Amino acid sequence: RTDVSESGARLARRPGGGHLLAFVAAVVFVDTALFGVIAPLLPFYSDELGLSKTEAGVLVASFPAGVFAGAFPAGAAVARFGAKPTAILGLALFAASSLVFGFANDIALLDLARFVQGAGSAASWTAGLAWLARQSPPERRGERLGIAFSGALAGSLIGPALGAAARGADPAIVFSLAAAAGVGLIAWSLRVPAPAPSRDEAGWGSALRERALLPGAGVILMVGLLFGIVEVLLPLRFDELGAGGAVIGGAFAIAALAEGVTGPLLGRLADRIGPIRPVRWSLAGGILLAFVLPLPESIPLLVLLCVVLGPIEGGMFVPAMKMLADGAERARLDQGYAFAIFNFTWALTTAAGSAGGGAIADVSSDTVAYASIAALLALGLIASLRAASASPAFRPSPGPSPSPSPSPSPSSSSSARGR
């Protein structure tokens, strides 16, 4: 099989190859913005359709449920059919379901449309990030993934604003524009060079047993749980201190902006010194922050801690993406498997963190809930410190080879398997 780094370097030099990074960033931006649209619109749909809290909760949960269902099939599709066809399929599902959601007036149809949106998002995210990782040289992979991920953070800022605008006007207009954006992204994808499908026959059995993917998946697990807990407890703490919706939204918006700005820098750092050191620093910062978050009695101090949280989460997120991509390359697995694991783990642990953190806080206190995630982060930090420094997952990416056409040896990967 052709080495993925060599193949990616050749594709990056082809006409139009420079569009890939912008295309992937646009995909994750549009997907994330649509995810965030629903929060301001939920009262509108509750009033218009007479929804109970349970029905409203199901509507919100339908999108991540679609991500759960779509993540693993998307990874297999990338390996079997290629990143571009899978991305196009995901975008087509996204566009069609957005149009249906904009004009539906039945809760069952809204739930189904939202579920399909999530499945389409899983396919386009998995394909887009796998496409970018495969076509990026290892010494630039973390930086490029960090830039692409900034598109998701920008989407998290724009989505609620679009939802508020739709509530004041007509939701059909906003969701029709989302559908048009999906069609536009499909047209854009046709102009971006893509590698041939790997035809990876390893399947999910081999991918889930591959130890090279464990470090990155473990970091995503921890940051997903942290994010889930904070998304529930921090807004409630703001409310207890008397902050209004504008203050809460502004604090999270600035935190997302800080994470978006630092993402590419963290990716570049992970390329140069290895991903594990930024992860360790972020784990240590997360442990400290988890113990401090329940303490503030003033809104400005809580806003400051919320903003600090952004780069801490990014310090785990971006290096973990690089760890997954590098692990898949070492194991000779298609990148689709790596980023399907990323999507599935993130969605699952975020939901678990939100539900579990809220439940723990209900029966005890916010302090106990935060202490629980601090203990998990501490276990992750201890595990990273005990891991052998020579582990390939923790090494900096090698610089470009002086030879224009490197020819890697089959034995260069300690976990390589024959095909």
| pLDDT of 410 above 60 | no
- pLDDT more than 70, % of the chain: 85
Can you tell me the distance from the alpha carbon of 415 to that of 326, in angstroms, rounded to the nearest whole number? 12
CB-CB contact of 210 with 322 (8 Å): no
Q: What is the distance between the alpha carbons of residues 222 and 218, in angstroms, rounded to a whole number?
A: 6
pLDDT reading at 350 higher than 60: yes
Q: Is the CB of residue 125 less than 8 Å from the CB of residue 3?
A: no
397 closest CA partner among 322, 318, 320: 322
Asked if 233 contacts 361 with a C-beta cutoff of 8 angstroms, the reply is: yes
Residue 222 phi/psi, 5-degree rounding, is -70, -45
pLDDT at residue 334 tops 90: no
User: Strand, helix or coil at 29?
Assistant: helix
Structure tokens at 118: 């999530």
Q: Which of 152-161, 211-220, 312-321 has the lowest mean pLDDT?
A: 152-161
The 10s digit of each residue's pLDDT in 47-90 is 888 877 678 777 877 888 888 889 989 998 998 899 999 999 99
pTM: 0.75
CB atoms inside a 10 Å sphere around CB 304: 14
Q: Which two tokens stand for residue 346?
A: 């993130």
Spatial distance between the Cα atoms of 336 and 328, rounded to a whole number of angstroms: 9
* Average predicted confidence (pLDDT) for the chain: 81
Render 347-413 in DSSP notation, one character per residue: HHHHHHHHHHHHHHHHHS-HHHHHHHHHHHHHHHHHHHHHS-TT-GGGSPPPPPPSSSS----GGG-
Residue 12 has pLDDT above 50, yes or no: no
CA dist 237 and 314 (Å) reads 23
Q: Are 120 and 90 in contact (CB under 8 A)?
A: yes
Model confidence pLDDT, tens digit, residues 231-268: 778 888 888 888 876 787 778 778 878 887 887 888 88
Q: Give the count of beta carbons closer than 10 Å to the beta carbon of residue 389.
A: 9
pLDDT at 203: 66
Kindly report the number of other CB atoms within 10 A of residue 202's CB atom.
18
**What are the tokens at 378?**
């501490």
CA–chain centroid gap for 373, Å, is: 20
Q: Is the pLDDT of residue 402 over 80?
A: no
